[in-house]
Each structure stands twice: as structure tokens, then as C-alpha cells.
Amino acid sequence: MLFAIFFAFWRFLEIVTLIPIMGMLSWFIHAYINENELTPNYILVLFIVSVLAVAWTIFTLFSYHRSSSNSHFVGLVDLAFMGALIGAVYQLRFITEANCYHVESTDHWLTHAGSLITLQSQGIDVLASSKPCAVLKTCFALGIMNIIFFFFTAVLAWMHGGHLGKNERDRRYVTETTTVHRRHRSRGADGSRGTSRPRSGSHHSRRSSHSHQRTYV
């Protein structure tokens, strides 16, 4: 019961934080498509990972019974998503140095933004450049949060799988012990009957031989 509550809680947090990443990065992809330019890898990788992670979290949340019976597999997949998110966030690490409230033409992160930044004769349009900066920073922060969330769900699933395995071994041990005791009792009852019959037969033969001897005498 506790596993179901904690697992559903962390899964809900993952879904709530992954959907904004997917939506904001889709805005980037749409903007690059309209400009007929290739979408940078740091956007595509995080977008693809977030889409797959959302599908996985929704599937495991609404199919709880399958997830609880395959907890070790769920834990391994969550660890795989955690590693993929680490790689995607690492590619987006350049945004940590950006100051979205004071954008300058010498900022390092502008070289990664492409045509999403409007360049004017006086310099950079702050209104046009602050939105991509804020969106990328938000995606970066939500990606780090999901790394932690997937670690928690992986540990919970792995611990629950070990608990289920222990219970299954205990049930098998109890079942085998009960079966052995039943077989032992059935064999013991048959053996007592077999040993009692020869004794009664030998006693009867001794009495008959004794009476026969008395008749002759």
C-alpha cells in the first residue's frame, strides 16, 4: 500500500514536470522549422527524451498492477531515463551562465540560439531574446528535477521488487514444508499399519502352534 502511494506520487510529479518541457521545446522546434533551419541537438535530445519519458510514466501509472509485478524491470527503465536526462541536461549546460534579465551581444549562449534572437541595428532586442533564455533555463531546471524524480522511482521499484521476491520465496518455503510434512505423515501411517499386521499374524501363529502342542500332549 505504501509503495502504491509513493510510486503514484512521484509518477504524478514526473508527468507534471515533463509535459511543460515537451511543450516549451516544441515551441523551439516549431520556430526553427518556420525559419527553415535545423533544430540544435540540445533541444532535440531533451525533447525526444521528455516525450518518451511522458509515455512511460503514464503507462506505468495507469497499469500499476503490471508495474508492481515487474518492479525490477520498471526500476531499470527508470534508471535508463535518468541517464538519458543527465545527457540531455548536460548538453543544455551553457544556459546556466545566461542572464535572462540583461542580455548582451557578447553572451555566450547567444551562439546556440540561432535565428530565435532578433538582431537590430542598435543591438539585441531584449524582449525577443529574453523569452528563449527563460524557456531554456526552465527546461534545464525541470530536467534536473526529473533526474531526481526518476532516481526515487527507480529505488522504490527496485525495493518493492526485492520485497515481492522475498515474499514469494517465503510462500514457496511454506508450501514445500507443508507438502513434505503431509507426505511424511502419510508414509508413517502406512508404515505403522504394515508393521502391525505381521505382529498380529506372528502372534496368532504362535498361539496356534502352542495349542497344537497341547493337543498332542
SS (H, E, C) 124-193: ECHHHHHHHHHHHHHHHHHHHHHHHHHHHHHHHHHHHHHHHHHHHHHHHHHHHHHHHHHHHHHHHHHHHH
Q: State how far the alpha carbon of 32 is from the alpha carbons of 27, 29, 71, 124, in Å.
A: 9, 5, 40, 19
| Stretch 101-125: mean pLDDT | 59
| Stretch 110-124: mean pLDDT | 54
Could you tell me the pLDDT band of residue 56, with boundaries at 50, 70 and 90?
very high
| Stretch 97-120: mean pLDDT | 65
Q: List the helix and strand counts (H, then E) for the chain.
A: 6, 2
pLDDT at 39: 84
On the question of pLDDT at 21 being above 80, the answer is: yes
Q: Are 81 and 49 in contact (CB under 8 A)?
A: yes
Give the model confidence (pLDDT) of 58-80 as tens digits.
998 887 666 556 888 888 999 99
* 70 Cβ contact list (under 8 Å, min separation 6): 161
Give the model confidence (pLDDT) of 127-137 as tens digits.
456 778 888 89
